[in-house]
C-alpha cells in the first residue's frame, strides 16, 4: 500500500469503526436485541445433555444450530431491522449528507453483528466441550466458516431491506432468507436428488463447513473420517457456494438499495 493510499484510507477506517462502535453501543443497550443476538443462538447447546454423552450426531446438530442462529439473529435480522428503522427515521439519509461513504455506512451497520456471531461461536466451544462434544478438528476453519458466511447474510439483509416497507413487515419479508438457511440445514436428511439442489443454499454450505471442520464429517457421514488437512479440501465446495451467494447478494443489494423511506 502506498503512502498516499494509506493517508486516504485511514480516515475511512476511522469513520467506519466510529459508526460501528456507535451501532454496537445501541445494540448492547437494547436488552431484547442483545438476548436474541447473544443468548438465543447458544440455547441449542442445552439439548446436548439430553442425549448420550459424547454422541457426535447430537453435538453436530446442536453446534450447526448455534452457528446458524448466530448468523440469522445478530447478523441478518439485526442488520435488516437497523437498516429499515434508521432509513424510516432518515438517519441514513442524514449520515450520507456528510463525508461518510455508502460502503463505510454499510460496513458499520454489519460489523457489530458479525463480531457477535464470532463471539457466540467462540463461547460455544468450551460449553460444548464441557457437555461432552469432541474438540474441533480444524478450529481455524470453524471461524473461517463464520467469517465467510456472516457477510453473505449481512448483504442479504441489505437486499431484503430494499423491499421491506417497515420494521413490522420485516417479520414477513425475512422469510425467504430464513427458508434458505433452514432448508439447507435440514438437507442432510433429504434424498440425493433433492440434496443436489439444496446443497447450493447458504444454509447447506454453512452446515457442511461446521460438520467437516468441527467433527471431521464428510458429506452425510456421521463419523469422523476427515483429518485436519482433509477438512480444507472438503471446505472447497461450500466456500465456493458462499462466494457465489455473496456475489449474487451484492448485485441484488446494489441494484435495489434504498436510503429513504418507501412511499
Quote the percentage of the chain above a pLDDT of 90: 58
pLDDT of 82 above 60 = yes
**Mean of the per-residue pLDDT values of the chain:** 89
Q: What is the pLDDT of residue 134?
A: 87
pLDDT of 83 above 90 = yes
Q: What is the pLDDT confidence band of residue 263, given thresholds at 50, 70 and 90? A: low
Q: What is the pLDDT confidence band of residue 212, given thresholds at 50, 70 and 90? A: very high
pLDDT of 202 above 60 = yes
pLDDT of 246 above 70 = yes
**Runs of H (alpha helix) within the chain:** 3-29, 31-34, 56-70, 78-88, 91-96, 102-130, 139-162, 170-173, 175-186, 192-198, 202-215, 228-234, 236-256
pLDDT of 50 above 80 = no
Q: What is the pLDDT of residue 5?
A: 54
Please state the pTM of the whole predicted model. 0.90
Q: What is the pLDDT of residue 53?
A: 73
Rounded to an integer, the average pLDDT of 64-71 is: 95
Other CB atoms within 10 A of residue 202 CB: 26
pLDDT of 178 above 50 = yes
Amino acid at each position: 500500500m502506498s503512502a498516499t493510499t494509506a493517508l486516504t484510507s485511514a480516515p475511512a477506517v476511522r469513520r467506519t469503526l466510529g459508526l460501528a462502535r456507535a451501532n454496537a453501543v445501541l445494540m448492547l443497550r437494547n436488552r431484547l436485541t442483545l438476548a436474541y443476538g447473544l443468548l438465543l443462538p447458544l440455547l441449542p447447546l442445552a439439548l446436548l445433555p439430553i442425549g448420550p454423552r459424547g454422541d457426535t450426531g447430537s453435538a453436530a446438530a446442536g453446534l450447526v444450530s448455534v452457528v446458524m442462529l448466530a448468523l440469522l439473529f445478530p447478523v441478518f435480522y439485526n442488520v435488516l431491522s437497523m437498516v429499515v428503522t434508521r432509513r424510516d427515521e432518515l438517519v441514513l439519509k442524514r449520515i450520507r449528507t456528510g463525508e461518510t461513504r455508502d460502503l463505510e455506512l454499510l460496513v458499520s451497520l454489519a460489523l457489530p453483528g458479525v463480531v457477535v456471531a464470532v463471539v457466540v461461536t467462540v463461547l460455544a466451544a468450551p460449553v460444548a466441550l464441557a457437555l461432552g462434544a469432541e474438540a474441533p478438528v480444524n478450529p481455524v476453519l470453524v471461524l473461517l466458516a463464520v467469517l465467510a458466511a456472516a457477510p453473505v447474510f449481512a448483504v442479504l439483509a441489505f437486499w431484503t431491506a430494499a423491499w421491506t416497507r417497515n420494521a413490522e413487515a420485516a417479520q414477513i419479508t425475512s422469510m425467504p432468507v430464513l427458508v434458505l438457511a433452514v432448508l439447507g440445514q435440514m438437507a442432510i436428511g433429504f434424498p440425493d436428488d433433492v440434496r443436489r439442489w439444496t446443497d447450493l443454499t447458504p444454509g447447506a454450505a454453512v452446515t457442511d463447513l461446521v460438520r467437516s471442520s468441527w467433527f471431521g464429517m464428510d458429506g452425510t457421514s456421521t463419523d469422523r473420517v476427515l483429518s485436519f488437512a482433509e477438512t480444507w479440501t472438503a471446505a472447497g465446495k461450500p466456500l465456493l457456494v458462499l462466494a457465489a451467494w455473496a456475489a449474487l447478494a451484492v448485485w441484488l443489494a446494489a441494484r435495489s438499495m434504498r436510503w429513504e423511506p418507501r412511499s
